[in-house]
Structures are given as structure tokens and as C-alpha cells.
Structure 1
Amino acid sequence: MRIIILKRKYILVAAGAILLILLGFISFLRDDITVLQRYLLHEPIRSGDPSLNKAAITCNVDWGNEIIPEILDVLDDKNIKITFFVTGRWASKYPELLQEMFNRGHEIGNHGYSHKTHSKMNKKDNFLEIKKAEEAIEKVLGVKPKYFAPPSGDYSEATLEAAEKLGYQTILWSIDTIDWQEGSTADVIISRVMKKSHNGAILLMHPKRETAKALPIIIDRIIEEGIQLGTVSNLLE
């Protein structure tokens, strides 16, 4: 009888310990939803940890090469490095400009090869589109990107699976400048950005002239909040 009681006691203690571990793990996931998104739900990453005073700036590039030198000069002047997501066809057409981005210390991400609607493609075609862009970028820089941003933020489960198979984390955004939209003046872009929360944010922009005008003001105002601006890697790692 004593042996049975002791066994029951040890079983209860072990069960209690396991329960505490599970509760701690659930609490950890609740505190850091990006971990849950990344490893359990396979969702794109839209932001970093909101408890940190950090944010990332991203620029999606498939056109606007005439504006990129101006943006690079602004970033140099402010001593800020960002993540440029470039399409493979753009990388093949403008290798010198891609190399200039990289040489100035900016992070280069994969934006697909030809700016297709990824949600309309099966897993194989998603894979080939991302891989072809990877090869175009790697041919110029000798470096494989580690982040993938689907064009227009459009994706499906097949997109996420293909990107993951190729070793990418899929990145979206929490702040959209919507700078491509007609009527998006520098003042409008600044207003859109500044009314959002910046802690842990991923800010999306494109190489537009009004964006280049707005960028130095946006950088200054976010830094005044005590936020450290950088690349996607800076934010997540």
C-alpha cells in the first residue's frame, strides 16, 4: 500500500512539473507572437518585438531606379541601413545599382523574379519564381538573400511553403506608406507613417520621388521617439 501511495505521489509531482513547463512555454509564445508565427503557423513576419525600441525600413524594388541614388544618399546622410527587396529581373537589368546598394551596407532581400501574383501559382511555380530571383541576385553579389517579400504582399500557403523550402523567412509589413498611390505626396506619406506605432514596426516604401522627399523627415521623427532604425535582420535578430 505504501509503495502505491509513493508512486501516486511521484506521478502527481511529475505531472505538475510538466504542466508548469507547458504553461511557461505558452506564456513565452504569447509574449512573442513572431515566434509562434514563424515556427508553428508558418505565417509571414509583419513586425518584430513591440517591446523593443527598434524598427526596420524596407524598400521593394522592381522599378524606380532613377530615384534609388537619391534614396541611398539620404540613407548615407542619416547613417541608416535598410533592407531592399529586389526582383530578379531588376537585379539582372541593373547589376551596378544593386551592387551599389550592397556596397553601401544595405541588406538585399528576394522579391521574386518578375513581380508575379504568387497566390495564383502552385508550389512548384512559387519555388521556381523565388529561386530564379535568388540566382539573379547571387550572380551579382555572390550572396544568397535570407528574406523573401512577396510582390504586393500577395501569397498563399504554397508561397510560404516554397519560400521556407528555399530557406527564406517571408516578410510583410506593419506600416505601409502606400507611396505608389496617386495623390501620395511627401506630406501624405509622412502623415501615414507617423500616425502608426513604430516599436517593432516594419515600414514598407518604394523608390518614388515623393518618398525620397519624405524619407529624411520620417527618419528624424522616428529617431526622436528613441527608436533605432535598421534592416530586417537588425529588427529580428
Structure 2
Amino acid sequence: MDHTRVVYDSPNHDVITHKNSAEKKVILTFDDGPGRVLSELLDILKTKKVPAMFFWQSRLLYQTRPWKRVLDEGHVIGTHSCKHLNLSNLGYAEQFEDLERSKRKIEAITRTPVTYFRPPFGRYDLATTKAARDLGLKTVMWRISSMDWEHACHPEEILSNVVPNLEDGAIILLHELKQTVQILPELIERIRSEGYGFTVLS
């Protein structure tokens, strides 16, 4: 695995890749939901007593999705835009409109303020971070990418990407995928065996 694809940092001070803390903790984040495996992910997180952050495409969010359970169980919901477009291909006004629509829809359904935003594909430019900032959103990337979308047949590779690269405060990128559900219990235990706990941005 190319190390440069797994471990990420940003020179932009408006972009969060770590949580600064004196405690030895990491943050699990799940993109591209709410999807079909959400309930399974929540079952695992509840059993393991792990909080997490979910970055959702607002087009996939309906009242019937288990969004209330996400909040009731201590997790955080952020926006992943409306339709998962590469925002860096758009101008400021279009990016602002997309993020505003997404934020407004999530807040209308959940009745909870949306504070965090993750750019689709991890692609952003200065207009993206300005649009987010103007909407009161904090742009969140990651420090460690699990590359889980590439490992449907070999979910153990997710462990190989994450565990050797653990560090204090690291934000870990995961997705709402079947292979991620399959490996998540072991991933949590491996992270704990390295002496790390779990937290969320607040």
C-alpha cells in the first residue's frame, strides 16, 4: 500500500485532521451514508461503547432512516454535501448553495445543528473552506484513510492500513460499507490493544 494514500495532512489551517488532546484517543468517521448497513454499524459501536462521526449525503437522508438512534447513542452527524459532487470543480456560489442545502435538510430532519463538513472525495479548494466557514461549518478531513472501499474481498487490509499508522488524535476515514461492518469489531479491538480510546469532535 502506498503510504501517501493512507496518511494525510493538510497545509490549510481551516481543515481538521486531528483532535488536539492530551488523551490517547482517535476518531472513527464514516462517510457516504445514511445507507443500508447503518444499523449494523450502530449495533457494533453500541456493543463496543465507541462514539463515532457520520458524514452524510443529505439526498440519502429521510425521516425513516435511523438518524435518531445515531444521535441518541452519542454519535455526531455532519454533512458530506448534497449529491457527492467534486466541489472543487465548482465556483464559490455553487459550493455555498450545495453546502447550505445539505446543512438545512439535515437540520430540518434531525432538529440538531450541523457543525462539521467533509468534502466529497476529499477534494476542496479555498472556495470550499470559505463556503463552509461562512455557513459555520468546520471542514474535517482525516489523518488515516482505511481505503476500505478498495477491500471488499479482503477486509483485513483495512486493519493493515489503519493500525500501523495510529497516532494521538488521528481522525480515521471509513465508509458505510459491508466490508467495513465485517472488520469493524476487530478494528476497534486492535486500536484498543494499541492503547487508544475513542472520541469525537465537539
Give the TM-score normalised by structure 1.
Answer: 0.76
> Post-superposition shift, 1:124?
0.9
> Post-superposition shift, 1:184?
5.4
Corresponding letter in the other structure for 1:48: K
Q: 1:77 aligns with which of 17, 38, 47?
A: 47
Q: 1:98 and 1:189, CA in 2 relative to 1: closer, same or farther beyond 3 A?
A: same
Which residue matches 2:37? 67
In the alignment, the residues of structure 1 paired with residue 201 and residue 112 of structure 2 have an alpha-carbon distance, to the nearest angstrom, of 16
Describe how 1:97-112 pairs up with structure 2 within 5 A: 97-112=66-81
Q: Which structure has the highest helix share of the two?
A: 1
In the alignment, the residues of structure 2 paired with residue 229 and residue 103 of structure 1 have an alpha-carbon distance, to the nearest angstrom, of 17
The answer on 1:131 being equivalent to 2:100 is yes
Corresponding letter in the other structure for 1:217: E
Describe how 1:168-183 pairs up with structure 2 within 5 A: 168-182=137-151
In the alignment, the residues of structure 2 paired with residue 54 and residue 152 of structure 1 have an alpha-carbon distance, to the nearest angstrom, of 25
Which residue matches 1:148? 117
Q: Which structure has the highest strand share of the two?
A: 2
Q: Deviations over 1:198-233 (max 9, x none)?
A: 311100101111111111111111112221212222
Q: Deviations over 1:85-109 (max 9, x none)?
A: 11110114x6432222222221111
Q: Deviations over 1:112-158 (max 9, x none)?
A: 11111110111111111111111111111111211110111110100
In the alignment, the residues of structure 2 paired with residue 43 and residue 151 of structure 1 have an alpha-carbon distance, to the nearest angstrom, of 16
Q: 1:95 and 1:171, CA in 2 relative to 1: closer, same or farther beyond 3 A?
A: farther
In the alignment, the residues of structure 1 paired with residue 21 and residue 166 of structure 2 have an alpha-carbon distance, to the nearest angstrom, of 9
Is residue 198–residue 222 contact of structure 1 (8 Å, CA) maintained in 2? no
Is residue 81–residue 230 contact of structure 1 (8 Å, CA) maintained in 2? yes
Is residue 50–residue 201 contact of structure 1 (8 Å, CA) maintained in 2? no
Which residue matches 1:118? 87
Q: Which has the higher contact order (CA 8 A, sep 6+)?
A: 2
Q: 1:123 and 1:95, CA in 2 relative to 1: closer, same or farther beyond 3 A?
A: farther
- Between structure 1 and structure 2, the one with the greater Rg is 1
> Post-superposition shift, 1:183?
5.0
Give the TM-score normalised by structure 2.
Answer: 0.88
Corresponding letter in the other structure for 1:72: L
Aligned length: 194
Describe how 1:10-25 pairs up with structure 2 within 5 A: none
Give the match's secondary structure for 2:149: coil
Q: 1:212 and 1:67, CA in 2 relative to 1: closer, same or farther beyond 3 A?
A: same
Runs of 4+ in 1 over 4 A off after TM superposition: none
